[in-house]
Structure formats: C-alpha cells, structure tokens
Amino acid sequence: MLKGIHPAISPELLKTLAEMGHGDEIVLSDAHFPAHSLHSKVIRADGITVATLLKGIAPLFEFDAYVDAPLIMMQAVPGDSLDPSVEANYLDAIKSAVGFTPNLERIERFAFYERAKQAYAVVISGETAKYGNIIIKKGVTPVL
C-alpha cells in the first residue's frame, strides 16, 4: 500500500491514471455499461461505487481547465428520467476530496458511447444507479 492513495484505487487504476496525458479521458461506468464491447482497455472495480472512485481519483487527478466541462454524463433517453441525486452524489464526492466541483455537461446516450470508445480506459464499477456513468477529462498537472 501507498500512503495517501485511497484504498479503492487499485494498482492497475493508479498506473492508468499516471499514464494518461492532458486531454485524455477515462470513463467511470456503472455495472451495466457495455465496456468490453466498446473498449479494449477495461479495468474492473466491482463492488465500488462511482462516488467512491471519484473521491479516490480527484486528489490524484487534475481536471482539464481548458474545456468548459471536464465532467461528462449521459442524458436521459427521451421518455426516461434522471435521478438528480446521482449527479449530486458524484459532485459531492469530488468536492469533499478537493474542495471544488468542476463543470459537468450531459450528452446524448449514443454520443456518450462514441466518446467512451475514444477514452483512454473504462473502469467498470459496482455502481447500480441508473445513468451512473461519468467521463472525466485529465488536465495539465502543475509543476511541483
């Protein structure tokens, strides 16, 4: 184990986050997301919620400041509805970890899938919330 690394962050996920460059995106998916059919780099985080992953990732991850919204979630399909507590829970997890919440936008379901195909990796979580997927875009890490 390493000090300062949330226990939900596996060695494989930590390595992936370190490999990502600015502008790269990672998908934190719910348990129902078709990750293996959309992407070749899939990391399992079974039993761990997306909010827990966000809480662990946020202190390690610079959110892209050069885009309007470094957080992307899926819009509800017409005729369906969103549970607003899912988004609120995710933003609260980030804020509790780093003290602020980056901007978030929602995109159409199939546009989300296409964007996920271009992501650096997909993390399948144990999240069961409907529309519980989020893409995060990495920014430039400041020089220490």
The catalytic residues are 22
Strand order in the sheet with 134-137: 42-45, 121-125, 25-29, 134-137, 71-74, 104-107
| Contact partners, residue 137, CB within 8 Å, separation at least 6 | 23, 24, 25, 63, 64, 67, 70, 71, 72
- Tell me: is residue 90 an annotated ligand-binding position: no
- Tell me: is residue 132 an annotated ligand-binding position: yes
| Contact partners, residue 109, CB within 8 Å, separation at least 6 | 74, 75, 77
- Tell me: is residue 109 an annotated ligand-binding position: yes
SS3 85: helix
- Tell me: is residue 44 an annotated ligand-binding position: no
Tell me the residue type at 60: L
Number of H helices and E strands in the chain, helices first, is: 5, 6
- Tell me: is residue 89 an annotated ligand-binding position: no
Alpha-carbon gap, residue 92 to 98, rounded angstroms:
10
- Binding residues, by number, are 30, 109, 131-133
- Binding residues for substrate, by number, are 30, 109, 131-133
